[in-house]
Amino acid sequence: MTSDKLNDSNQNTAANNGLPTPVLSLSDNVSAESQLRMKKTAAAVDVAGVIFDQATTRVHEFHRAISDKPLAVVNAGLGQLAKPVTALHNGITDLVYGSVRVLGKGLFTAGAATLKAASPFVNFSPATPAYDKNLNAVASAVSGIVGDQLAAGKSALAPELGFYHAQQKLALNTAALAQAYPEASEHLVVFVHGLCCNEDSWWMFSNPASPSAQKGSYGDHLESLGGRSALYVRYNTGLTVKTNGRRLKRELEALVAQWPVPVKRVTLVGHSMGGLVSRVVLDQAIGTKSPLVALLQDVVCIGSPHEGSPLARVSAKGETLFDIFDLSRPVSKVLGVRSKGVRNLEQGLGTTPVTQYLGVKFHLLGSTIGTFEQPKLADTIGDGLVRITSSLSADGRPESLVAYERTNHMQLLNDAKIRAKLEELTGIA
């Protein structure tokens, strides 16, 4: 099979229309990167089909719950005479909604199957590098909600835990790491993102074009100072916190063993759920007497819900409450679609036992979108997702215990004050 004529035709058509060169082309030698991109795209289409199916089902349930009320009144008044009307109404609505579901889901399923089947024969090279970035962002967002289901179904959309560089998972061998980090340092600063995010989140509020914005990520800044190498983790946030912590601990051990220079120090920096995952890494390292114990000197938790997140608890209570009433039961089912990772955030891991980790310095950083002029209100609203008392919860005085005002949960990912704090604590010998 050749693609010369197909490519020539595509290129001529694109040139005539002033469009970029098409990204799909037949080939006898399809790269592994292209196949993975096709499979991820197919998985995204499949998930879209599931969402369409579920949305249609919930709308159908709303319709039935609403229509059942007046029909019940009619049935009570007319008795047997009203039954044909009820049966006709229900039959028509079931047929309409059922047809929409079957047709819509079928189209999505067929599209996904076609893309997956074509992956060994079609090279998929995006016209813009942003495609992979956006596809990975979608995968991470969806995984936060149903990542455990994606993993159980072995979906290509489920993020694979590892260290990522330029959208690619790093191979944990010395040659590959040396190529990615030509100026490898003996001090590793490992950044662990939060729910529904991936490693790109650390650049969320970075804007090189703006003179007032922060330039690059925290890791970029620390590397520019020298003596530190920043590594970024990607993981499936729909899995349990403990599962991700155990797996990250193993990956970190493998990374340290293959790092181009001897590692003398490791700092974990976790945002939101990432802080909880970092705590599990430390617990697992201590419990297994891992070589990491001697290297892990600092754990930084930024906006982490150690004692749980109010929003996660509201979702859990809402599921139970809405299930009581017929009209609101479809809402209960929507709230019930929460991954194990989200459910973990209802209670968190509990107070950070900093007094049990001798030799490890904990730095707990939190914020409020309000001001400290009204402390009770500031704590109640917290950063919009996590209360200050939850993010700063510890059984003793940690090395750093800092709360910032007028800062929301996501702004913690790239903030000048936290940037200075990380510079300070990672620079301590």
The pLDDT value recorded for residue 214 is 61
Pair (137, 85) in one structural domain: yes
Neighbouring-strand partners of residue 143:
none
Domain extent, residue 14, equals: 4-152
What residue has token string 């730095």? Answer: 363
The closest of 308, 317, 399 to 351, measured between CA atoms, is 308
Instruction: Point out the domain boundary residue: 103, 123, 152.
Output: 152
- Count structural domains, the chain: 2
Q: Contact 125/34 with Cβ under 8 angstroms? A: yes
Instruction: Point out the domain boundary residue: 100, 120, 152.
Output: 152
Pair (131, 189) in one structural domain: no
Q: Contact 153/236 with Cβ under 8 angstroms? A: no
Could you give the 3-state DSSP secondary structure of residue 192?
strand
Question: Does any domain span residue 343?
Answer: no
Pair (303, 368) in one structural domain: yes
Rounded distance between C-alpha atoms, residue 128 and residue 242, angstroms: 37
Pair (256, 206) in one structural domain: yes
Question: Does any domain span residue 334?
Answer: no
Residue 39 vs residues 139, 241, 363: alpha-carbon distances, Å:
12, 27, 40
Rounded distance between C-alpha atoms, residue 120 and residue 35, angstroms: 6
Question: Does any domain span residue 342?
Answer: no
Rounded distance between C-alpha atoms, residue 385 and residue 304, angstroms: 10
353 backbone dihedrals φ, ψ, rounded to 5°: -80, 65
Pair (89, 8) in one structural domain: yes
Pair (140, 187) in one structural domain: no
Rounded distance between C-alpha atoms, residue 192 and residue 322, angstroms: 35
The pLDDT value recorded for residue 40 is 83
Rounded distance between C-alpha atoms, residue 66 and residue 1, angstroms: 57
Q: Contact 192/268 with Cβ under 8 angstroms? A: yes
Question: Does any domain span residue 391?
Answer: yes
The pLDDT value recorded for residue 204 is 87
Rounded distance between C-alpha atoms, residue 332 and residue 355, angstroms: 41
Rounded distance between C-alpha atoms, residue 75 and residue 161, angstroms: 57
Question: Does any domain span residue 340?
Answer: no
Pairing of strands 162-165, 229-234: antiparallel
Q: What is the pLDDT along the chain (429 residues), one digit of tens a residue?
A: 334 333 443 444 444 444 444 577 777 777 888 888 888 888 877 777 676 666 666 554 544 555 555 545 545 555 555 556 556 555 666 666 566 666 766 776 777 777 778 778 788 777 677 888 888 898 898 888 888 888 998 988 899 999 999 889 999 999 999 999 999 999 999 999 999 999 999 998 876 655 444 668 999 999 999 999 999 999 999 999 999 999 999 999 999 999 999 999 999 999 999 999 999 999 999 999 999 999 999 999 999 999 998 766 665 554 455 445 454 444 444 445 577 888 898 889 999 999 998 889 999 999 999 999 888 888 888 999 899 999 999 999 999 999 999 999 999 999 999 999 999 999 865
The pLDDT value recorded for residue 327 is 45
What residue has token string 């969806």? Answer: 142
Number of DSSP helices (H) and strands (E) in the chain, helices first: 14, 10
Rg for the chain, CA atoms, rounded: 26
The pLDDT value recorded for residue 248 is 98
Rounded distance between C-alpha atoms, residue 354 and residue 283, angstroms: 11
Helix (H) or strand (E) holding 100: helix 83-118
Question: Does any domain span residue 282?
Answer: yes
Pair (390, 422) in one structural domain: yes
Rounded distance between C-alpha atoms, residue 161 and residue 277, angstroms: 12
Could you give the 3-state DSSP secondary structure of residue 427?
coil
For residue 284, what is the DSSP state? Answer: H
DSSP per residue over 29-45, as a string?
S--HHHHHHHHHHHHHH
As a residue count, the chain comes to 429
Question: Does any domain span residue 364?
Answer: yes
What is the token pair recorded at 213? Answer: 């914005």
Q: What is the CATH number of the domain that holds 299?
A: 3.40.50.1820
Pair (217, 134) in one structural domain: no
Pair (380, 238) in one structural domain: yes
Helix (H) or strand (E) holding 315: helix 310-322
Pair (286, 172) in one structural domain: yes
Q: What residues contact 309, with CB distance under 8 A and at least 6 apart?
A: 345, 346, 348, 385, 386, 390
Neighbouring-strand partners of residue 267:
189, 298
Q: What pTM was computed for the model?
A: 0.80
The pLDDT value recorded for residue 52 is 62
Question: Does any domain span residue 231?
Answer: yes
Pair (123, 204) in one structural domain: no
Pair (236, 377) in one structural domain: yes
Q: Contact 365/306 with Cβ under 8 angstroms? A: no
First to last CA, the chain: 60
Instruction: Point out the domain boundary residue: 152, 175, 193.
Output: 152
Pairing of strands 168-169, 162-165: antiparallel
